[in-house]
Chains A and B, each alone.
Chain A
Amino acid sequence: MSTTQKIKNRQGLKVAPEQRELFAACVRDLVGNAGKVEVSDSSSKGLAIKSRHYVAEGSKYADIRVRLTGASADIGIYYEEDGSVSIAWDSYVVGQSKALKEKLEGRSDRNTFEANLNASFVARTFEQTALENGMISHGIQRMTNEGGKNGRFEIELDTGFGGGLFDKKEKQTLGTSLGGGL
């Protein structure tokens, strides 16, 4: 019998505790109408995930639980102590999601989901950092790349700067005296 168990994010993404809310928002955005996203209260042991298979010890309770529409198993997302993120994914069940395929250029595999989650998180972090520094965001958009096989996240920021305002040095001015002494 197969076992469902979490596997560390293959791209090495790490999420600090203070960034978890932002990361959860990325999961919600990515899943969108393709399913339901639940986030565990940090004080609880997590959300029990359901799988067709035996769920490995240590993978039973996820920090974020995703149930794609029409699936009979959950995606479990876990924060590890070192900040890395793991995902438990029953590819047979989860990978059949039509709604997810529509969002991700016909793909619904774990790698694609993970890669898009990572990219979304980086985009959101850029946006949040910009907002905290007085910049204006025009929002994050996921676009399909040329060729229609994969996608990217784009964000436009009005920075409020443009004329070298970070250079605080005062301009040198000529004095009124041309010197010459006595």
Chain B
Amino acid sequence: MGRVKIIINENGEIDIEAIAGFEGKSCQEVIDFLVSQMPAGFEFETLETIRHGNFAQEVPVPKQKYVQEN
């Protein structure tokens, strides 16, 4: 069973990590699916640069990452 960890810091930056149980790009598909199911008002950039669209942060582009670990 694929497990993901989602980390949200105080600046609104979001990291999503695949931590177990995924094969190939299946993690990407799952995260894509999850993000697509979020309520209206939540908008995200591309999968690799996921961020919470409700945050109108006036700060430099935050650290955003997407990693898949075996």
Interface residues of A (CB under 8 A from B): 11-14, 16, 18-19, 83, 112, 115-116, 118-119, 122-123, 125-126, 129-130, 132-133, 135, 145, 150-167
Contact = CB atoms under 8 A, between A and B. Distances in A.
Contact of B2 (A151, A155, A159): A159
Nearest to A163: B23
A83 B41 contact: yes
Main secondary structure of the interface of A (DSSP, over half): mixed
B30 to A, nearest CB: 5
A118 B41 CA distance: 14
Size bracket of the B interface: 35 or more
B26 A166 contact: yes
Nearest to B20: A162
Nearest to B51: A122
Contacts, number: 118
- The list of the 8 closest CB pairs from A to B, nearest first, reads A12-B56, A162-B2, A115-B10, A162-B21, A152-B9, A166-B29, A164-B26, A119-B8
Given A13-B54, A115-B11, 20 more contacts: A11-B56, A14-B54, A16-B40, A18-B39, A115-B10, A119-B9, A122-B14, A123-B8, A125-B39, A129-B38, A133-B34, A151-B10, A156-B5, A157-B34, A159-B2, A161-B1, A162-B23, A162-B30, A164-B25, A166-B29
